[in-house]
Amino acid sequence: MNTPLRIPGRLGNYLILTKLNKGGMADVFLGQPLYAPMHWVAVKTLLPKLAQRSKFIAMFRSEGNLGMMFNHPNIVRTWDVGLDETGEQAIHYLAMDYVHGRDLGAVYRSFQRLGTPPPIAQALHVGAEVLGALAYAHTLCDAQGDPLHLVNRDVSPANIMVAFDGRVCLIDFGIAQATLDFRSQIGAIRGKLSYMSPEQVRGLPVDGRSDLFSLGVVLYQLLTGSEPFGGDGEFEQMERIRSAEPEDPQIINPALPESAAAFLTRALQKDPADRFATAPEMLAAVQKLQAEVGDPWDQPRMSAFMQERFAADVARLQGRVDRAREILLEEGGFDIPKELHDAPLDGPSLDSLEIVIDLDSMEVPDLRSGDRTLVITSREDEDLLETNPAATRAGAPILEQPEVVEPEPPPTPPVEPPVRTAPPAWALGLLVLLVVAMVGLGVALVIKVGF
């Protein structure tokens, strides 16, 4: 039975207030940790229709395990991989950093409504921040120091968040291809078509240069106001991506410096060998352009822009949160700490806490009392710290889930072979008479035709 998550309500150790987004694999909600009520998280839940299959559960958990390994200001981190079994249906969820802002797609559309592309310096600032995140991810190693060879595979405006405090963050490494135990599951998914690299469209192996191509598409769109590989349908668009021959960006935006046009041309080369080789190399090129263009953007300037441009959005979200709190108070069925009502939307995320992991206690602490310890709530196994390097990072509670086993199909009843019996004697006689009659009829027809 598919029992939807109650909103507002409780999910695991989190108070869920409102839905933020819906994707093809999961829903995303705004939540507050009950153990740290002044902080905010984005809680992603696996869609019920997918939670019945172990393949998707494994992919979902893999996304969480991978997210726990990140520790970079421009990449959203995962703090908790959980399973709530309090209702009629188990709900798999991830608790991640909440970025209070809008995605880059919304920022771009706001300029479209004005009929102008974003300022060149602003677009370059976004590119530089994303490249910092990619440089970190592409060179990330496991606990033994072996490279993970991560490839995001979905660098697109929808996965680049611009916070109201001016930060720029990549929010989704869920389909990253990695040489981890779950690489075959994650690598099977594809990114958004408009931002794929030629090799990705062809289904060929990809490396970090594929992400750089995708970011080049994003920057082309920001700097020109046009998609480089748009088409009337998917087939036409895929053919344009394979050929990788975008229109000269200076024709679309004559205000674009020649050096910026040359930068985009190199970023969007068909052959990966002709592009920027690494994220640091591409970042150096962006920084050179920033110095040439001038008018520098930084986090405070981006923050002022976001708060002015999206003031109405902030108010709407605050209204939804306030209404959710009113409902909880009216129902009175959930004892909510006062801090859960007072926490502002621009409050801190969990990374501001100084947290250590306690394997001896199974109780969720109350951080308001001064206890700054998070616990592993479903396993008392010290070996976890050796098998999962993310568990040793402060602030990353690991919730190991029980092994998911596909239900065995019901046994198929054996099929008895058909019993063959000899036909009765009268049936054989009848058959002989029919054969003789047919032969006689044939002979008569031959004689008649002959004469």
List residues with catalytic annotation: 154
Q: Are 45 and 91 in contact (CB under 8 A)?
A: yes
Give all strands (DSSP E) within 286-439, no chain letters: 356-358, 373-375
Distance CA 78, CA 65 (A): 8
Dmax (CA) for the chain in angstroms is 118
Q: Are 69 and 77 in contact (CB under 8 A)?
A: no
Alpha carbon separation from 94 to 29, 98, 426 (Å, rounded): 10, 12, 76
Residue at token pair 């004689």: 447
* Closest to 227 (Cα-Cα) out of 270, 271, 219, 114: 219
Q: Is the peptide bond before 33 cis (omega within 30 degrees of 0)?
A: no
Distance CA 148, CA 151 (A): 9
Distance CA 213, CA 290 (A): 19
Which letter does DSSP use for residue 297 in this model?
Answer: -
Question: Which helix (H) or strand (E) segment is 94 a member of?
Answer: strand 91-97
CA angle 70, 169, 101 (to 5 degrees): 130
Q: Are 30 and 44 in contact (CB under 8 A)?
A: no
Which letter does DSSP use for residue 290 in this model?
Answer: H
Strand arrangement of the beta sheet that strand 78-84 belongs to:
9-11, 14-22, 26-33, 41-46, 91-97, 78-84
User: What are residue 228's phi and psi, to 5 degrees?
Assistant: -75, -25
Distance CA 209, CA 275 (A): 7
